Amino acid sequence: MSVSSVFREAGQALRFNRQRSVLTTMSLAWGVACFVILYSYGDGFHLALRLAFQQVGQDLVLMFGGQTSTQAGGERAGRRVRLERADVDAIRETVPMAAAISPEMMMGGMTVVRGYRTETMMVRAVTPPYGRARNQTMGSGRWLQPEDELQKQRVAVLGAKAAEKLFGEIPPEDEEISIDGLRFTVAGVLKTKTQVANYNTPDNDCVFIPFETASLYRDLKYPDDIVWMPANPVFREVTVRQVRETLARLHNFSPNDERAVRIFVFNESMRLVDTMGIALKLLLTFIGTLTLAIGGVGLANIMLVSVTERTREIGVLKSIGATRRSVLAQFLLEAMAIVTVGGVLGVAAGWGVTVLMGTLPLLGPLFHDTSGTGDVHLKISTFAVLTSTLMLETVGLIAGLLPAIKAARLDPIEALRYE
């Protein structure tokens, strides 16, 4: 048989068994659509989780004082090490790769009053670079400026939830609040943060004031912590080591003593987030693969039934000169045609569903965030399309190969006698 004859016979067979071919194609299309949609959800979930984790800071490094665990420079082990305000300037001068560095004083339980509303809130005293290190995005107004720091201005930036508690629906900018009896002017309000990583009170519930202004409340020599970020993530480990060496020289402890100053690199915890996202995608991929496999089993059964029903036809083809190869090619072609059409329809259906659904709620309702930052955004993945196509073609090849081999091996005389 010629190549054109093989294609013609395969087409006629599919048209003759039209209902069966359509149902098999639709079952495979359903499997592909499920795979694409599930993988799309896994991708969106992973991205939403990463963005929510990064709300604490794009590449945040956090430092607290600690206690020495080894002897160094004539000092005993077990000595307390307290970070100082002067350490910030020393790090800025000696470690140029440490960017957006700021001391932080966390003053919890302060009474914040606006009109008749009184709230107990966390007040954080910080410098302007803190906004960059902590990934602070303004919803309205402005962030703290260097002039506020130099002139010890009584200005405050409110977290989104703190602003809602104090002002409700009233715009807070340029309004006055009282913090433990001292008046402050609201400079701006932060955009709502879908923040899943914290080291104290979430930013949404906090009030931020200039660090030097906090001297009205307490001594600033010993900040609670120091935050910064590497200028380039590639040199993160080197920068952390240089910062520790600088602090070791200033406070007379061993640079290898990690307990003397506790340094938390939040980006290292991102591995846990990635692991969770990858685990979910693997689970959804496994479920999608099972769906495709079930469709493949159905295709194999249909092709085996087709071989049985067309035994006499195969005998006739072989008696007029059809070779084993041509019979094998015909049945394989039928299976691959069903698989290909099913794959195209499945990808189209998956794309249509993801476009119609757009986003699915995840963290948005929890944080009362309507911006969609914390939601799962469904988007067709090229990897999912290519993977599902490859898997489907493999399933089709395997499902069609066994029946095709069975048909090719039929004895023409026995086939003609088949009732």
Which string of b and e fits 80-105 if b means at least 16 CB within 10 Å? Answer: ebebbbebbeebeeebebbbbbbbbb
Helix (H) or strand (E) holding 310: none
pLDDT of residue 7: 45
pLDDT of residue 66: 92
- Non-local CB neighbours of 20 within 8 Å, separated by 6+ positions: 302, 306
**What amino acid occupies position 73?**
G
Is pLDDT at 237 greater than 90 in this prediction? yes
145-159, 219-233, 336-350, 390-404: segment of lowest average pLDDT: 390-404
pLDDT of residue 189: 97
Residue 334: count of CB within 10 angstroms of its CB:
24
pLDDT of residue 418: 47
Report the distance separating Cα 376 and Cα 10, nearest Å.
44
Average pLDDT of span 248-277? 90
90-99, 206-215, 232-241, 330-339: segment of lowest average pLDDT: 330-339
pLDDT of residue 211: 97
Burial (CB < 10 A; 0-12, 13-18, 19+), residue 213, is: buried
More confident residue, 273 or 83: 83
32-36, 338-342, 353-357: segment of lowest average pLDDT: 338-342
Is pLDDT at 286 greater than 50 in this prediction? yes
Closest-CA residue to 324 (of 410, 414, 413, 398)? 410
Confidence class of residue 293 from pLDDT cuts 50, 70 and 90? confident
Is pLDDT at 18 greater than 80 in this prediction? no
More confident residue, 304 or 351: 351
Q: Are 97 and 239 in contact (CB under 8 A)?
A: yes
Closest-CA residue to 95 (of 140, 63, 138, 128)? 63
Q: What is the mean pLDDT of the chain?
A: 85
**HSE of 376 in the Cβ direction (CA atoms, 13 Å)?**
18
- Non-local CB neighbours of 267 within 8 Å, separated by 6+ positions: 59, 60, 233, 236
The C-alpha angle with vertex 147 and arms to 146 and 153, in degrees rounded to 5, equals 115
Report the distance separating Cα 315 and Cα 265, nearest Å.
73
DSSP 260: T
Confidence class of residue 6 from pLDDT cuts 50, 70 and 90? very low
Confidence class of residue 1 from pLDDT cuts 50, 70 and 90? very low
pLDDT digits (tens, 9 = 90+) for 341-356: 888 888 999 999 998 9
Instruction: Give one word for 408, left, alpha or beta, with left for phi > 0 and alpha for psi -120 to 50.
Output: alpha
Q: Beta-strand (E) ranges in 201-356?
A: 206-210, 225-230, 261-265
* β-pair type (61-67, 182-190): unpaired
More confident residue, 245 or 51: 245
**HSE of 315 in the Cβ direction (CA atoms, 13 Å)?**
14
Closest-CA residue to 375 (of 353, 355, 359)? 359
pLDDT digits (tens, 9 = 90+) for 44-95: 998 888 888 888 988 999 999 999 888 765 567 788 999 999 999 999 999 9
Report the distance separating Cα 86 and Cα 223, nearest Å.
10
Report the distance separating Cα 410 and Cα 419, nearest Å.
14
Closest-CA residue to 28 (of 380, 387, 343, 393)? 343
pLDDT digits (tens, 9 = 90+) for 248-261: 999 999 999 999 99
Structure tokens at 78: 């077990």
Report the distance separating Cα 107 and Cα 118, nearest Å.
17
Average pLDDT of span 14-36? 77
Is pLDDT at 289 greater than 90 in this prediction? no
pLDDT of residue 177: 97
Helix (H) or strand (E) holding 81: strand 80-81
The C-alpha angle with vertex 305 and arms to 299 and 310, in degrees rounded to 5, equals 125
Residue 368: count of CB within 10 angstroms of its CB:
12
Confidence class of residue 332 from pLDDT cuts 50, 70 and 90? confident
DSSP 129: T
Burial (CB < 10 A; 0-12, 13-18, 19+), residue 396, is: buried
pLDDT of residue 102: 97
Is pLDDT at 335 greater than 80 in this prediction? no
Closest-CA residue to 53 (of 272, 204, 279, 233)? 272
More confident residue, 101 or 9: 101
pLDDT of residue 184: 98
Structure tokens at 364: 């948005």
pLDDT digits (tens, 9 = 90+) for 388-413: 888 887 877 777 777 667 666 666 65
Confidence class of residue 312 from pLDDT cuts 50, 70 and 90? low
pLDDT of residue 5: 47
Closest-CA residue to 98 (of 270, 254, 241)? 241
Average pLDDT of span 121-142? 96
